[in-house]
């Protein structure tokens, strides 16, 4: 009898050991080490200065949108929305993509600035991995809005950098994906 229990115990021990070796569980592995989320981000209200440029760049793990301001930026917000709305009128601004971020800076724009082309696309995103569209949504009563169309609702971060000179930049980075390849839980 004792021999039977010892044999059964040995078999169970071997089976449990093989199970642990054969199939490791999926674990949390953020893509490129990013621990960003998709909740709204922002600070302050209105700022001094004006919006002078809107540009974008591609990185290995994310696409980046930059709004240049000619003074320190203290008021801004970035959030996912169902529809980007035009400042003042509230009209829906068409923004291509599976999801849309509304990027608002608490500064006006000067309509004669070289980057400003009025309503519509302001950055060519045709070769970007995550960005699908960057559209002007207007400037009204000291705030300016840009619609950022992305492939899907993905993690993002937003922050202000000082410079160049006495200016500042609002940076919006949107990750290419949520999880590292081969992982389903992040």
pLDDT > 60? residue 6: no
Percent of the chain with pLDDT over 90: 56
CA separation, residue 139 to residues 16, 34, 50, 86, 108 (Å):
64, 32, 10, 8, 6
Angle made by CA atoms 140, 144, 146, in degrees to the nearest 5: 130
- Band the pLDDT of 130: cuts 50, 70, 90: very high
pLDDT category at 69 given cuts 50, 70, 90 is very high
Q: Tell me, what's the pLDDT at 22?
A: 40
Are 100 and 137 in contact by the 8 Å Cβ rule? The answer is no
Distance CA 142, CA 48 (A): 9
Which pLDDT does position 109 carry in this prediction? 84
Q: What pLDDT does 20 receive?
A: 41
The 10s digit of each residue's pLDDT in 147-168 is 999 999 999 999 999 998 999 9
Give 171-185 pLDDT, tens digit per residue: 999 999 887 777 666
Higher pLDDT: 4 or 126? It is: 126
At 64, the pLDDT band (50, 70, 90 cuts) reads very high
Domains defined for the chain, CATH in brackets: 31-175 (2.60.40.3500)
CB atoms inside a 10 Å sphere around CB 174 = 27
Q: Is the pLDDT of residue 16 over 70?
A: no
Phi first, then psi: give them for residue 18, nearest 5 degrees. -65, -35
Q: Which two tokens stand for residue 97?
A: 């993509």
Contact 177, 155 (CB under 8 A): no
Tell me the percentage of the chain whose pLDDT exceeds 70.
75
Which has more confidence, 47 or 81? 81
Residues 6+ apart with CB under 8 A from 49: 69, 70, 71, 72, 73, 107, 167, 168
Identify the pLDDT of residue 23. 37
More confident residue, 27 or 9: 9
């Amino acid at each position: 009898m004792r021999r039977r229990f010892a044999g059964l115990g040995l078999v169970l021990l071997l089976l449990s050991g093989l199970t642990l070796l054969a199939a490791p569980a999926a674990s949390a592995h953020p893509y490129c080490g990013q621990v960003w989320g998709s909740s709204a981000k922002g600070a302050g209200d209105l700022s001094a200065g004006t919006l002078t440029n809107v540009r974008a760049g591609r990185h290995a793990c994310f696409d980046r949108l930059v709004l240049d301001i000619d003074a320190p930026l203290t008021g801004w917000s970035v959030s996912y929305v169902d529809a980007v709305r035009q400042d003042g009128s509230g009209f829906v601004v068409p923004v291509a993509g599976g999801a849309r971020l509304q990027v608002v800076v608490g500064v006006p724009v000067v309509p004669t600035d070289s980057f400003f082309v009025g309503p519509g696309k302001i950055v060519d995103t045709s070769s970007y991995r995550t960005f699908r569209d960057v559209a002007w949504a207007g400037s009204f009563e000291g705030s300016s809005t840009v619609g950022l169309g992305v492939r899907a609702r993905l993690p993002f971060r937003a922050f202000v950098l000082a410079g160049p000179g006495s200016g500042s930049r609002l940076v919006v980075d949107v990750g290419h994906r949520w999880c590292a390849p081969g992982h389903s839980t992040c």
